[in-house]
Amino acid sequence: MNIRILSDGKQGHLNQSLGLAQALISKAGGTVETVDLQGLSLLGKIRKVVTGSDIPRPDLFISAGHATHIPLICARHHFKTRAVLCMKPTLPCSFFDLCLIPRHDLDSGRDYTDTDIFPTQGALHPMRPDPSVPKDTTLILIGGPSKDFDWDDESMLNQLASISIHTPGHLVLTTSRRTPDGFAEKIRTAVPELTVVPVEETRPGWVARHLAHASAAWVSQDSVSMVYEALGSGAPVGILSVPRRHGSRKSRILSGLETLEKEGMVTGYSDWKKQNFRLTAPGSPLLEADRAADYILSRFFPQLRAL
């Protein structure tokens, strides 16, 4: 199976596509090629996609990100092949063979069986459990202000201090590009027990490598994609509380997180304290890319599924 990923240059979008592509290759074999469209005009993106080599002929194009919509459609028609989009599109889903859309972005009462929509539990990712490496670290991933969430330095520092007191072993924290300027230094001062690695000092794949070694993970409430990636590691996951924006309506993303808590897949900070400072371990890793890959193979490539 020959897969081409169309990338807009954003690591989060590329991770979604890679998660699906790697799951497909693990089941059907083949190759993955990434076509970088970052910085090109729309015409330039289309030209780069359709003038690409047809040796080997691509069986499937995958992309995520609004900037890849039109190039993905053009690739589908030019190569007369399948195209899968890993997000809720701004164009009709019928323009693609399949759209993998998080449940929190869909109407909860609708049945999507045999449609061009495949509901997923959160965004896809390439994270998988690795039993061969030691689990010797608690990894903490914090974000920052977003459309749905505000930020409170003091509240976050208090939570981090409590976690450092009640969690044995090595604790490593990294920030995101949304983390307020100077907050990493505040953590170093207020909670010196934590090893702080600002996002500017990390390289692609840093989070996945450290999640593989995590005996537990904490993720701030605003960093939804990181919550699902952490769940893919198989480690128990805690959720750090972040204040919602004043006057904002309850978002579907927040509803999705609450569902994860109710199902016992993650543990909120307040529940962690009630549970004698213990995180609830999920029954099994959340591997939505595998489930999506099984569906794609059975629907579009049954001859490969049988291999």
Q: Supply the CATH number for residue 225's domain.
A: 3.40.50.2000
CA distances to 149, 150, 185, 290 from 182, in Å: 19, 16, 5, 39
* C-alpha–C-alpha distance, residues 277 and 119, integer Å: 34
Q: Are residues 147 and 41 in the same domain?
A: no
Dist. CA 119–CA 307, nearest whole Å = 26
> Structural domain of residue 187, as residue ranges?
137-274
Q: What is the signed CA dihedral for 247, 250, 253, 259, rounded to 10 degrees?
A: 150
Q: Are 50 and 78 in contact (CB under 8 A)?
A: yes
**Which has more confidence, 303 or 299?**
299
The one-letter amino acid at 56 = P
Q: What is the mean pLDDT of the chain?
A: 93
Q: Do residue 268 and residue 299 come from a single domain?
A: no
3-class DSSP assignment, residue 286: coil
Q: Give yes or no for residue 306 having a pLDDT over 60.
A: no
Contact yes or no for 17/86 (Cβ under 8 A):
yes
Q: Give CA–CA dist 208/231, Å, rounded.
A: 11
- pLDDT tens sequence across 99-124: 999 998 898 889 999 899 999 999 99
Number of domains in the chain: 2
Beta-carbon count within 10 A of 195 CB? 13
Q: Are residues 98 and 157 in the same domain?
A: no
Band (pLDDT 50/70/90 cuts) for residue 256 is confident
Residues 152 and 263 both lie in one domain: yes
143 and 269 part of one domain: yes
Asked whether the beta carbons of 182 and 203 are under 8 A apart, the reply is no
- The answer as to whether 130 is a domain residue is no
Question: Does one domain contain both 204 and 239?
Answer: yes
Specify whether 60 is located in the same domain as 144: no
- Taking 90 as the threshold, does the pLDDT of residue 205 lie above it? no
**Looking at the structure, do residues 53 and 170 belong to the same domain, yes or no?**
no
The model's pLDDT over 45-86, given as tens digits with 9 standing for 90+, comes to 999 999 877 778 899 999 999 999 999 999 999 999 999 999
The β-bridge relationship of strands 98-102 and 195-197 is: unpaired
- Asked if 181 and 54 sit in the same domain, the reply is no
Query: Residue 28: inside a domain, yes or no?
Result: yes
Q: What is the pLDDT of residues 142-195, one digit of tens each?
A: 999 998 899 999 999 999 999 999 999 999 999 999 999 999 999 999 999 999
The verdict on 120 and 164 lying in the same domain is no
119 assigned to some structural domain: yes
Does some domain include residue 260?
yes
165 occurs within a structural domain: yes
Quick check: 97 and 115 in contact, CB under 8 A? no
Structural domain includes residue 86? yes
Task: State residue 307's pLDDT score.
Answer: 53
Strands of the chain, DSSP E:
2-7, 31-36, 60-63, 82-85, 98-102, 117-120, 137-141, 170-174, 195-197, 214-220, 237-240, 267-268
| Model pLDDT, residue 305 | 65
- Residue range 256-268: average pLDDT? 91
Q: Has residue 184 been placed in a domain?
A: yes
pTM of the model: 0.87
Instruction: Kindly state whether residues 93 and 156 are assigned to the same domain.
Output: no
Q: Is residue 113 part of a domain?
A: yes
Q: Give the Cβ contact number of residue 90 at 10 Å.
A: 7
Q: Are residues 59 and 110 in the same domain?
A: yes
Residues, the chain:
307
pLDDT digits (tens, 9 = 90+) for 267-281: 999 999 999 999 998
At 26, which CATH number? 3.40.50.2300
Using pLDDT thresholds of 50, 70 and 90, give the confidence band for residue 31.
very high
